[in-house]
Amino acid sequence: MARRPKMPLLGAFTRAYQRNLRAMARALQTLPAAKTKRRPKRVSAPAGPLALRARQPARKTVRAISTKPALGQWLAGIAPGPAGARRYQLYVPPGVSRTSRTRLPLLVMLHGCGQTAHGFAASTRMNQRAARERFLVLYPEQERMANVQGCWNWFARRNGRADAEAATLLAAIDQVAQRHPVHPARIGVAGLSAGASMAGQMALLAPQRFCAVAMHSGAPPGSAESTATALAAMRGEREPQGLAAADAGSAAIAPPPLLLLHGDADGVVALQSARRTAAWWAHALGAQPGPVRVQQRGARRAMRVTEWRARGKVQVVLREIEGLGHAWSGGTASAAYSDPSGPDATALIWAFMARQFVDK
């Protein structure tokens, strides 16, 4: 069975959130402008966007999971940017070198709070998919000096940290694209939890850079200005923000196609968050919803699927997964915040990305 974090009662949940908000606010006020090159000590944290729950009991030690398929390269790098330097890991499929003539797609994968690039690769098994389908995978990693819980600061819009981090991640993409055979029109971004919100934020900040975006269990991008407004956003009470003219329907400012995956048993980020994001994004693209369909494969969890179409193409897809908590659907059984009984999110995300390449 999938392991899902135990949820405390609402009162304990709220008190834990308030304690973390105060701690995070103090940390944000004291952070230096420049980031140290020294890797900070890792600390244990849940994978929710703001570490909203009380400290969980210690987990049993699990056997280490390989982040690499049998073949291919697993390369480390570091990219500077407005938010400081960020480390990253890059998976390059077998038979691909810097001098390869064929340009390949690039998928950017943004982890959740308390996760690392290695752990996220292990949980999602995206490298194995990339080895078969031949695309590169970039795993940026948040610095604990930038956020004590290892969260991407998607919610810190008032002080400019959200946009600064998004710009730094774009700089990492540029660096990888310059050094490796990346197709510039076939770049997608996906993320889990806080990584999902940051993925959406990046797509709204630079929509021309991405062919598609996938958000798994994330709050609406741009829906919070500070830690104080993040909880309401995660409850699904706030709308996404980011486009200069969200209702214009203009191709010049339109966001890329969006896939959302969200569990209806998620106790960290409400399903309503995904529904709000889907409706808002579809409106920006001038897309209309079709009927809700139920899909299920074998014994895996069922999904309620809604598609929004415009100009004869699917622009937004919302997959509501029955019984899934705050976890990567179809992920590795022994990894935290990973539910192997769900539909294969890795396969669904890559299939959605690949469909956008037809016109590129």
Residue 217 has pLDDT above 70, yes or no: yes
Encoding tokens for residue 120?
């996220």
Lowest mean pLDDT among 18-22, 111-115, 193-197, 337-341: 18-22
Residue 122 has pLDDT above 90, yes or no: yes
Give me the mean pLDDT over the 296-309 stretch: 95
Residue 178 has pLDDT above 70, yes or no: yes
d(CA 154, CA 106): 22
Give me the mean pLDDT over the 86-95 stretch: 97
Q: What percent of the chain has pLDDT over 70?
A: 77
Report the candidate in 286, 322, 292 with the shortest Cα–Cα distance to residue 307.
292
**Which pLDDT value is given to residue 253?**
76
d(CA 351, CA 360): 15
Q: Reply yes or no on domain 10-31+45-53+64-355 having CATH 3.40.50.1820.
A: yes
**Which pLDDT value is given to residue 119?**
95
Residue 247 has pLDDT above 50, yes or no: no
Contact assessment for residue 137 and residue 169, using Cβ atoms and an 8 Å cutoff: no
Own/partner pairs, 55-63, CB within 8 angstroms, 24+ separation: 55/16, 56/5, 56/6, 57/6, 59/336, 62/334, 62/335, 63/334
* 234 three-class SS: helix
Average pLDDT of the chain is 83
**Which pLDDT value is given to residue 261?**
98
**Could you count the other beta carbons within 10 Å of the beta carbon of residue 91?**
25
**Which pLDDT value is given to residue 23?**
46
Q: Which amino acid is at 43?
A: V
Lowest mean pLDDT among 107-116, 125-134, 214-223, 242-251: 242-251
Q: Give the HSE-up count for residue 13: Cα atoms under 13 Å, Cβ half-sphere.
A: 12
pLDDT digits (tens, 9 = 90+) for 24-43: 444 444 334 334 344 433 33
At residue 44 the predicted structure's pLDDT band, cuts being 50, 70 and 90, is very low
Residue 18 has pLDDT above 70, yes or no: no
At residue 360 the predicted structure's pLDDT band, cuts being 50, 70 and 90, is low
Give me the mean pLDDT over the 277-291 stretch: 96
Residue 228 has pLDDT above 90, yes or no: no
Residue 155 has pLDDT above 90, yes or no: yes
Encoding tokens for residue 179?
């050094």
Give me the mean pLDDT over the 140-169 stretch: 95
At residue 47 the predicted structure's pLDDT band, cuts being 50, 70 and 90, is very low
Residue 70 or residue 196, greater confidence: 196
* 135 three-class SS: coil
